[in-house]
Homo-oligomer: A and B are copies of this chain.
Amino acid sequence: MNIGQASKATGVTAKMIRYYDEIDLVRPASRTDSNYREYDDRQINELRFIKRARSLGFSMEEITQLLSLWRDRGRPSREVKAIADRHVADLDARIGEMQAMADTLRHLSHCCAGDDRPDCPILADLTEGKEPSDPVKRRPSFNR
């Protein structure tokens, strides 16, 4: 299976497959005589795994760990659970922050006439330069 077929089979773009290859996330692809990458079922499954894990918001760092546990038949499920739980806590923290932003804005918007006049509580709030409760530092790499 070449990269295009692997891409179709997994839903991961060829670009990203090459990237995962480059950062050694997946087992190294073997190459044909003409230097085409060749993927077998094992790698296809790894790519699917990565895709699903990304869709659950895991960072590449976490996925590296998850993949290594996945490959290890003797893994303790405790370790997998720990990674998942940490990620859930991370998600919850971010959800909380965004919820706070949305709530604040909903309130301000509700107080804004939204007509032709210039008076606007939203701008007024921004002008006051209130401090946010805490400039939260997040673990790197959960863009999307």
Contact = CB atoms under 8 A, between A and B. Distances in A.
A114 B56 contact: no
A80 interface: yes
A76 to B, nearest CB: 5
Given A70-B127, A122-B84, A126-B52, A76 B109 contact: no
**Copies per complex of this chain:** 2
A77 B113 contact: yes
A17 interface: no
Nearest to A11: B131
Interface string A81-124: 11011011001101100110110111011001111111110110
A51 B130 CA distance: 9
Contact of A53 (B49, B74, B126): B126
Interface residues on A, range: 35 or more
A70 B114 contact: no
Contact of A80 (B45, B49, B53, B122): B122
20 contacts: A48-B129, A51-B129, A52-B126, A56-B104, A69-B123, A73-B118, A76-B118, A77-B120, A77-B122, A78-B114, A78-B115, A80-B122, A81-B109, A81-B120, A84-B109, A85-B109, A88-B106, A95-B102, A98-B98, A143-B143
Given A52-B125, A77-B122, 10 more contacts: A11-B131, A52-B128, A55-B132, A57-B98, A57-B101, A77-B117, A78-B114, A84-B105, A84-B112, A95-B99
